[in-house]
Amino acid sequence: MKNRKMCLISLAGLTASWLILRWPLFFLHGMREWPFVLFVSGILVAAVSGFVFGKKILPVFTLAGYVLGFFLGYCFQRDYGPGLNSLWIIWSCVYLGVVLAGAAAEFLAGK
């Protein structure tokens, strides 16, 4: 039951952070679709790992990666052309890195 509780908390946190980043903080990033793509991929990873496989570390890392990726992307973004920005690249790479770190932590915790 504790595994499902952590998964539900992570899913709720991921949903809340998407809602906050999508509308109130839209002026910071100006992206319409990419936050939703990352959100849906995070929901899938958290739900499958938490509900299907009973993992509790990976859903938490997924939530942390979404939020951390945005803030690191915002802090280190660079413009590389008219209307082009690197925030989405940094956000995606950090998100993927944190999710992979969560998978590694989950694997090591199982040993």
For residue 1, pLDDT over 70 is answered with no
Provide, rounded to the nearest whole percent, the portion of the chain with pLDDT above 70: 97
Per-domain residue ranges of the chain: 2-110
Which among 61, 40, 44, 41 is positioned nearest to 53, based on CA atoms?
44
In this prediction, residues 18-43 reach a mean pLDDT of 94
CA distance 96 to 61: 10
pLDDT tens digits for range 49-68: 999 999 999 999 999 999 99
Q: What is the pTM of this model?
A: 0.94
